[in-house]
Amino acid sequence: MGVRGRPSSVALSIVSPDAITAKRPEPPNYLGKEESEVWRKVTSCLPPDWFAEDTHGMLEQYCRHVICARYMAKRINKIQSASGNISDKDIKALDNLYKLQHRETIAIAALSTKMRITQNSRYDRRIKVNKQRATQNPWD
């Protein structure tokens, strides 16, 4: 039978030996320079044992999609800043680029949610509730 009730603050403060010896995963050799930078930024923001080896494929794709979305944004900015008078050709190019960027955004959102690297997926409602309770006076 398991332990009942909420874990104590002491139980939550104990760090597992695996977490101490865990190392952050290095990006694969076949990722490009920019993709490797994204990999390192993402893995440095989370605990070292956050990305198990079976999630590395998703992380690789996430890095690729982030770089691709940046590339699309650069192309969009280039077209918008280069022409004071936007032609029909520019409008069609922008339309295609925005569609591609939208697909990249959807892929990034899906992968980041699956890997639990978004702010929303790491948000702990109990922390906010406890802070609010601590600041309220009992008679309010």
Calculate the average pLDDT of the chain: 83
Query: pLDDT class for 135, splitting at 50, 70, 90?
Result: low
So what's the pLDDT on residue 133? 52
In the prediction, which pLDDT does 119 show?
A: 77
- Residue 37 pLDDT > 90: yes
pLDDT at 8: 76
Q: Which helix (H) or strand (E) holds 53?
A: none
Q: What is d(CA 61, CA 20) in angstroms, rounded to the nearest whole number?
A: 28
* pLDDT given at position 66: 97
Residue scoring higher pLDDT (58 or 80): 58
Q: Are residues 93 and 101 in contact, defined by beta-carbon separation less than 8 angstroms?
A: no
